[in-house]
Structure 1
């Protein structure tokens, strides 16, 4: 039987207190990985998740940082190297939240925030954590992208601008550090059902129009996203790098 075993590995998940972040962290822990849980503001949620994962027998460390600020990420590295360990797996998941509207009406600060938490997050994480991966000739860099980066729909401009920029960073990084046996990939969720959504009556979700255009005729779940992340973090994906993998039920399909 083929199984995913991340025993002995340590994974950093940025934005670990969010809906998707928590599920990814749990799934990595269930696969044997120790965890570094990054949070920006929600220390209480980070502490609760830390306690939950420690009950699985994992070593779990929580760390605060503004992921869009290089000084904060450098300090995070210092904290980890002094008090815990450096990560073998880095999942870049954090992103700022904002209200979507048209380009003509979108606040300029929203574009800046998205750039900082997508493009600059990818750059900061690479500069700070890849050197350790190069030293050990092993590492996994995994960015969380979005199906919107292919859709380019109305009101998506700030989000898409950031995520498409992030896409370029990860693709180039894959070419630059591949010789060190470090893989760099992206997972692109569709409109995903979170724990919060699962508690809502399906008739009240107002997602029927979206579902009709999805070949699998349903929305995916956070767990289905996390499953792909764990696969890419494992040795089963050791020869996959530079990939943008939609987990969208076929709603978007990259072409050759």
Structure 2
């Protein structure tokens, strides 16, 4: 048994980011062709495109603001012209900002998190899910966060955006399920990425002490969960919020 995405095309938003790059490589290693979305980092997108093509897969880089309807429309056109119909969407992009208390957080940060978590997901669904329904196969995967269940101080804008995103995904899963389109979320913990490896910050004993597995997860472990949900092995899983965080949060029944 293996994850086989041969013949599938995946769009990953924010694919030049720390987690997005590993997701792109992992889905390509499983056989998928990859649409690499980026917002500003054209150089990194070109490097990743060449890397994936070197793996024997087709790949294109597409630029756009995923919070804008016209940009999503242009992304869809570019992907269809370059790779064909999209089978797998991974909504990974998110706006970065400085975290502070509710009383001090600028209002524009709440707007930005709504746009990049909720509105991005809605725009992507409107653009790509109809084709998935038509072919009666599709995977719509969102990258959420353990913060959505922690509700710790200074997390308010991020948590608000991600909890709103969660609602969209759960409703969408019910709406498109009979077309055999699955809608799921992966919720990473504080994840080790290349940025940590380069700066030597992989270990944080304070965080890891509270995690049942007593360590931080890796970017590859997040990508593995995405690849599983994208595959036929997860064909009967939909509406799920799956923490990949060593048990740091545990959704209860």
Q: TM-score range by the shorter chain?
A: over 0.9
Match of 1:251 in 2: 248
Shift of 1:86: 2.1
Distance in 2 between residues matched to 1:198 and 1:215, nearest whole Å: 23
Residue of 232, 235, 238 corresponding to 1:238? 235
Asked if structure 1 preserves the Cα contact closer than 8 Å seen for 2:141 and 2:185, the reply is yes
For the pair 1:69 / 2:68, whether they are aligned, the reply is yes
Counterpart in the other structure of 2:136: 137
For residues 114 and 147 of structure 1, the distance between their equivalents in structure 2, rounded to whole angstroms, comes to 16
Match of 1:199, SS state, is helix
Following superposition, the deviation at residue 80 of structure 1 comes to 2.2
Asked whether 1:4 is paired with 2:9, we answer no
Deviations 1:87-144 (A, max 9, x none): 1000000000000000111111111111100000110000000011011110000000
Once the two structures are TM-superposed, the CA of residue 82 in structure 1 deviates from its matched residue by: 3.0
**Residues in 1 aligned to 2:80 and 2:141: alpha-carbon distance in whole angstroms:** 21
- Residue number in structure 2 paired with 1:14: 13
Aligned match of 1:222: 219
| 1:42 corresponds to 2:52 | no
Partner of 2:2: helix, strand, or coil? Answer: coil
Name the residue aligned to 1:87: 86
Are 1:209 and 2:206 matched, yes or no? yes
Could you tell me the TM-score, scaled by structure 2's length? 0.98
Structure-1 separation of matches of 2:192 and 2:95: 19
**Offset at residue 37 of structure 1 (A):** 0.4
Q: Shift of the alpha carbon at 1:206? A: 7.0
Q: Distance in 1 between the 2:232 and 2:239 partners? A: 16
Deviation sequence 1:201-256 (CA, Å, 0-9, x none) = 35xx6721111000000000000000000000000000000000000100000001
In structure 2, the residue corresponding to 1:81 is in which secondary structure? helix
SS in 1 for 2:199: coil
Query: CA RMSD for the aligned pairs?
Result: 1.0
Map of 1:25 onto structure 2: 24
**What is the TM-score with the length of structure 1 in the denominator?**
0.97
Partners of 1:80 and 1:237 lie apart in 2 by 25
Work out the number of aligned pairs and report it. Answer: 253
Distance in structure 2 (CA, Å) of the matches to 1:201 and 1:113: 31
Matching residue of 1:191: 190
Task: Answer yes or no: is the 8 Å Cα contact 2:38–2:61 preserved in 1.
Answer: yes
Secondary structure at the residue paired with 2:243?
Answer: strand
Q: What is aligned with 1:125? A: 124
